[in-house]
Amino acid sequence: MDYITAQEAADKWGITRRRVQILCVDERIEGAIKKANLWLIPKDTEKPVDGRSQRYNECKGKID
């Protein structure tokens, strides 16, 4: 299986490297593994849905 780094995923998805790392820690990216201080993400993985957005929460009925 081919892997990309958190920085490469960030560039691919248009988000920051830190956000990718947070997604990895929260187990939102399937198949991500940590080697030393480097997150490795499967190359064919799609960007997870951002659960922080209001639009997403409205669709899921989570807005108070």
The sheet carrying 38-42 orders its strands as: 3-5, 38-42, 33-35
Q: End-to-end CA distance of the chain, in Å? A: 42
Q: Tens of pLDDT along 33-47?
A: 999 999 999 999 999
Q: Is residue 64 part of a domain?
A: no
Provide the domain limits for residue 30.
Answer: 3-59
Do 40 and 9 form a contact (C-beta atoms < 8 A)? no
The model's confidence at residue 51, banded by pLDDT at 50, 70 and 90, is: confident
**What pTM was computed for the model?**
0.76
> Is residue 55 classed exposed, middle or buried when 0-12, 13-18 and 19+ CB atoms within 10 A define those classes?
exposed
What's the domain count of the chain? 1
* Whole-number pLDDT of residue 2: 96
How many residues in the chain? 64
